[in-house]
């Protein structure tokens, strides 16, 4: 698309052109997040003042605010063997009841009585195998033990002896992860924190000199765990450093697992998360040919952290190393990491020598001989973050207080990424020369809802000669965009409604399933969901009808099929101008959709629907049972009849009278 077309917004654009503009919008959002991380912070005093709240927000995005209960670890040593210079214990513990963590503890051997060694938690990367990811990283444990450390190598949730899921967003379409605000990074961080809790029970481990390190996915968890838990006195994340702006602009998100990111409801970036580690020793290790973590992403992190470590007067405690390699666990990276930890935990400046490493075949490192019957690992994503339990309200004043509170919560914690300023519509409008002209004045329209976002649709205006009219906004979904000439579901409304058929962003972009999944993951890194951005388009379409078309509207109905019915409910919840919501086969819960960031922590669709009370909710299909909760709120208004089922759109709109 040429720069000229970007400037001439008041024009019709193809789906491909609008998609390119959407990508530009995402890049602008990402660049703004990265650029603004340290706004207003000019020194150590301001940073220290803001640090507690930044840490709280960071933990919140991992699902760790407040931290889960430190339940009994129920740790067991299930096996042990010795080799030259070290011994290994196979250990399992429960970071939460039923969330099993398997790992190998490497200890020096022989060892003097009552000897204590600096503690290392090593978080594995993505290495599949039935005996756990830890098998592929045993060289780290061997080196640490031979050099006087107690090193605990952990399996990941995904590739552990009890497997779980890391790629719910990246691959499996588990969009309710976004509605819960769940990322496997949160559970992995909690496992690493609890691993240190376990090491505190071991007489061999000196946890006053604890450190954390890992590569790839384990490198990301190293970043997050060191920021979350100050007991780790040093950290070395390897091949896992990113920045929001470059990752979005360069389409790098598609390379990475869900565990690499937090879903960014608080608009933070990795540099400010890394600042939570300061002034503890931190070495950042990267590879210049790493497609998942390229220089454009890792260089700004080191640059910003140099400033922060300078505030603390501790520039020597921050270091960066990169090598001209690809993404792999290589000796140069092990050398840089281990020398750094030796320096800060043992005061040892000896040059790194890996020595002869004889790896186990794997069986010796197996921790479990059977699958625990109460294991929750594979389904931990459903229960790691508690979903909101709806409360029954007995009086209208109680409900109104809850409604006001919920309205604030939604705007601050679910829709914080809504644009802060409204831009001109820059409307393009042209007669729609087709058969609909026999029913109503027909137009094709396109307008701007936020910077670099163009939405399009069809506008039909009645020929009844009335100065005031009712409006119907039909919010199209991707599944509704098959043939653009079909309007038979709207014919009954044309005579006496202004009808806007709205195509929000992305519903007709050239995106296959893979690109849609990557896009949704990218939007979550920006602190939103694709559906919440589409909701913004719906809300702005109401403004378009009243401000741009200058229609004198007596009522506004918003109509959505399936998940788009969820957007219609939110439009009514957030904008009192919506007088009626029309649903067709709506989901009963955000567990089915649409995805709204973190929303299941605070509410669910049935309560959002209740925020429309006492305005009408009409369904063209039987409402799911969950909406009995909605009816209970309408009953407080004495408006039970305002929730009804209709057989057709015309009946829903109460179209009647002379034809």
Question: Can you tell me whether residue 476 is helix, strand or coil?
Answer: coil
Task: Tell which residue, 596, 600, 544, has the closest CA to residue 570.
Answer: 596
Question: Distance between CA atoms of 108 and 294, rounded to whole angstroms?
Answer: 37
Residue 456's DSSP bridge partners are 446, 503
Q: Are residues 103 and 159 in the same domain?
A: yes
In this structure, are 407 and 471 located in the same domain? yes
Q: State the residue for tokens 């040093």.
A: 234
Q: Are residues 314 and 409 in the same domain?
A: no
Are residues 196 and 232 in contact, defined by beta-carbon separation less than 8 angstroms? yes
In a domain? residue 215: yes
Claim to verify: residue 359 and residue 404 sit in the same structural domain: no
**pLDDT classification of 483: cutoffs 50, 70, 90:** confident
Rounded CA-CA distance 106/138 in Å is 9
In a domain, 230, yes or no: yes
- 186: nearest Cα among 166, 201, 207: 166
Helix%, strand%, coil% for the chain, nearest 5: 40, 20, 40
Mean pLDDT of the chain: 96
The Cα-based distances of 524 to 155, 300, 415 in angstroms read: 26, 21, 12
State phi, psi for 102 to the nearest 5 degrees: -105, 145
Residue 383 lies in a domain: no
DSSP string, 63-83: T-SSPPP------EEEEEEEE
Residues 345, 441: one domain?
A: no
Tokens 């020595």 belong to which residue? 355
State CA 447 to chain mean position distance: 29
Query: Which one of 353, 370, 387 terminates a domain?
Result: 370
How close are the terminal C-alpha atoms of the chain, in Å?
Answer: 47
Question: pLDDT class for 9, splitting at 50, 70, 90?
Answer: low
Q: What is the pLDDT of residues 595-642, one digit of tens each?
A: 999 999 999 999 999 999 999 999 999 999 999 999 999 999 999 999
- The secondary structure of 191-258 as a DSSP string is HHHHHHHHHTT-TTEEEEEEEEEEETHHHHHHHHHHHH-TTEEEEEEES----HHHHHHTT-GGGS-G
177: exposed, middle or buried (Cβ count in 10 Å: 0-12, 13-18, 19+): buried
In this prediction, residues 443-469 reach a mean pLDDT of 95
**Residues in contact with 319: Cβ distance below 8 Å, sequence separation at least 6, in sequence order:** 282, 283, 284, 340
Distance from C-alpha of 89 to C-alpha of 140, rounded to nearest angstrom: 15
Neighbours of 549 (CB within 10 A): 19
| Average pLDDT rounded to a whole number, residues 148-176 | 96
Structural domain includes residue 53: no
Backbone conformation region of residue 494, classed left if phi is above 0, alpha if psi is from -120 to 50, else beta? alpha
Residue 655: pLDDT band (50, 70, 90) is confident
Give per-residue burial for 115-147: e unless 16+ CB within 10 Å, then b. ebbbbbbbbbbbbeeebbbbbbbbebbbbbbbb
Domain boundary among 323, 354, 370: 370
Length of the chain: 659
Shared domain check, 648 and 577: yes
> Does residue 173 form part of some domain?
yes
Place of tokens 């129920």: 74
Q: Does 484 lie in the same domain as 365? A: no
387: tokens are 């979903």
Same domain, 526 and 630: yes
**Paired strand residues for 428:** 446
Beta strands at 150-154 and 99-108: parallel, antiparallel or unpaired: antiparallel
pLDDT digits (tens, 9 = 90+) for 243-272: 999 999 999 999 999 999 999 999 999 999
Phi, psi of 621 (to 5 degrees): -135, 170
Q: What's the distance, CA 126 to chain centroid?
A: 20
Query: Is residue 659 scored above 80 in pLDDT?
Result: no
- Cα distance between residue 319 and residue 279, in whole Å: 12
- Separation of alpha carbons 448 and 328, rounded Å: 45
Give the pLDDT score at 481: 79
- pLDDT one-digit tens code per residue, 190-225: 999 999 999 999 999 999 999 999 999 999 999 999
pLDDT at position 658, please?
Answer: 40
Same domain, 348 and 421: no
**Alpha-carbon span 364 to 528, nearest angstrom:** 45
pLDDT at 7: 41
Indicate if the pLDDT at residue 6 is higher than 80: no
155 contact partners, CB below 8 Å, separation of at least 6: 101, 102, 103, 124, 132, 133, 134, 161
Of 426, 501, 496, nearest in space to 461 by CA: 496
CATH number for 322: 3.40.50.1820
Question: Is residue 115 a contact partner of residue 209, using CB atoms and an 8 Å limit?
Answer: no
Residue 486 is predicted with a pLDDT of: 84
How many domains are contained in the chain? Answer: 2
Instruction: Give tens-digit pLDDT for 292-322.
Output: 999 999 999 999 999 999 999 999 999 999 9
CA distance 337 to 272: 22
Q: Is the bond leading into 348 cis (omega within 30 degrees of zero)?
A: no
Residues 421, 294, single domain; the answer is no
Q: Model confidence over 430-444: pLDDT tens digits? A: 999 999 999 999 999
In a shared domain, residues 430 and 562: yes
Buried b (16+ CB within 10 A) or exposed e, 364-402: bbbbbeeeeeebbbeebbeebbebeeeeebeeeeebeeb
Q: What pTM does this model have?
A: 0.96
Q: What percent of the chain has pLDDT over 70?
A: 98
Q: Is residue 23 part of a domain?
A: no
Whether residue 105 lies inside any domain: the answer is yes
Decide if pLDDT at 154 tops 70. yes
Window from 8-12, 548-552, 645-649 with minimum mean pLDDT: 8-12
3-state secondary structure 547-601: HHCCCEEEEEEEEEECHHHHHHHHHHHHCCCCCEEEEECCCCCCCCCCCCCCHHH
Helix (H) or strand (E) holding 3: helix 3-7
- Distances from the Cα of 23 to the Cα of 13, 16, 449, angstroms: 15, 11, 15
For the CA atoms of 460, 461, 463, 464, the dihedral, rounded to the nearest 10 degrees, stands at 130
Are 355 and 414 members of one domain?
no
Tokens of 639: 């408006």
Q: Would you call 16 exposed, middle or buried from its count of C-beta atoms within 10 A (0-12, 13-18, 19+)?
A: exposed
State whether residue 432 is helix, strand or coil: coil
pLDDT of residue 3: 41
Distance CA 239, CA 241 (A): 6
What is the domain extent for residue 136? 59-370
For residue 656, what pLDDT band results from cuts at 50, 70 and 90? low
* 146 within domain boundaries: yes
């Amino acid at each position: 698309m040429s720069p000229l077309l970007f400037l001439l917004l008041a024009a019709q654009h193809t789906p491909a052109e609008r998609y390119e503009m959407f990508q530009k919008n995402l890049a602008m959002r990402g660049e703004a997040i990265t650029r603004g991380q340290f706004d207003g912070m000019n020194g150590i005093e301001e940073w220290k003042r803001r640090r507690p709240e930044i840490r709280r927000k960071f933990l919140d995005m991992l699902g760790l605010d407040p931290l889960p209960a430190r339940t009994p670890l129920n740790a067991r040593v299930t096996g042990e063997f010795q080799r030259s210079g070290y011994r290994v214990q196979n250990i399992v513990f429960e970071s939460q009841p039923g969330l099993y963590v398997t790992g190998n503890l490497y200890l020096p051997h022989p060892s003097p009585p009552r000897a204590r060694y600096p503690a290392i938690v090593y978080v594995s990367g993505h290495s599949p195998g039935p005996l756990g990811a830890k098998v592929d990283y045993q060289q780290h444990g061997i080196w640490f033990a031979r050099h006087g450390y107690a090193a605990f190598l952990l399996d990941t949730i995904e590739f552990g002896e009890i497997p779980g899921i890391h790629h719910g967003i990246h691959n499996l379409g588990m969009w309710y992860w976004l509605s819960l605000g769940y990322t496997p990074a949160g559970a992995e961080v909690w496992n690493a924190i609890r691993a240190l809790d376990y090491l505190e029970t071991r007489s061999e481990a000196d946890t006053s000199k604890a450190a954390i390190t890992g590569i790839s996915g384990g490198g990301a968890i190293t970043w997050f765990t060191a920021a979350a838990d100050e007991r780790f006195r040093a950290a070395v994340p390897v091949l896992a450093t990113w920045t929001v702006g470059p990752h979005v602009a360069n389409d790098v998100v598609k390379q990475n697992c869900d565990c690499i990111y937090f879903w960014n409801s608080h608009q933070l970036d990795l540099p400010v998360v890394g600042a939570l580690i300061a002034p503890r020793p931190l070495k950042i290790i990267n590879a210049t040919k790493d497609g998942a973590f390229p220089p454009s992403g890792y260089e700004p992190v080191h640059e910003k952290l140099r400033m922060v470590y300078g505030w603390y007067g501790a520039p020597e405690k921050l270091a960066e190393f990169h090598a001209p390699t690809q993404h792999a666990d290589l000796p140069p990276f092990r050398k840089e990491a281990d020398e750094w930890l030796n320096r800060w935990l043992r005061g040892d400046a000896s040059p790194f020598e890996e020595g002869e490493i004889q790896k186990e075949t794997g069986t010796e490192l197996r921790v479990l001989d059977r699958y625990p019957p109460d294991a929750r690992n594979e389904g931990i994503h459903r229960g790691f973050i508690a979903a909101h339990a709806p409360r029954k309200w007995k009086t209208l004043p109680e409900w109104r207080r809850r409604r006001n509170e919920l309205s604030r919560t939604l705007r601050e914690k679910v829709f914080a990424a809504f644009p802060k300023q409204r831009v001109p519509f820059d409307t393009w409008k042209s007669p729609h020369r087709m058969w609909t002209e026999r029913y109503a004045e027909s137009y094709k329209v396109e307008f701007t809802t936020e910077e670099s976002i163009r939405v399009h649709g069809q506008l039909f205006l009645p020929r009844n000669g009335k100065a005031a009219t009712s409006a119907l906004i039909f919010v199209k979904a991707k599944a509704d965009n098959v043939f653009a000439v079909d309007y038979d579901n709207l014919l009954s409304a044309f005579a006496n409604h202004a009808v806007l058929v709205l195509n929000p962003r992305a519903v007709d972009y050239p995106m296959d399933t893979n690109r849609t999944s990557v896009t949704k993951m990218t939007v979550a890194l920006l602190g939103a969901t694709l559906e919440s951005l589409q909701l913004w388009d719906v809300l702005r379409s109401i403004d378009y009808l009243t401000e741009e078309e200058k229609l004198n509207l007596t009522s506004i109905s918003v109509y959505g099929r399936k998940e788009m019915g969820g957007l219609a409910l939110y439009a009514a919840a957030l904008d009192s101008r919506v007088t009626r919501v029309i649903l067709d086969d709506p989901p009963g819960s955000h567990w089915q959709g649409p995805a709204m960031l973190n929303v299941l922590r605070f509410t669910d669709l049935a309560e959002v629907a209740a925020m429309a009370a006492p305005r009408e909710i009409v369904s063209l299909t039987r409402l799911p049972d969950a909406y009995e909760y909605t009816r209970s709120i309408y009953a407080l208004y004495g408006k039970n009849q305002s929730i009804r089922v209709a057989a057709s759109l015309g009946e829903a709109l109460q179209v009647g009278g002379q034809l």
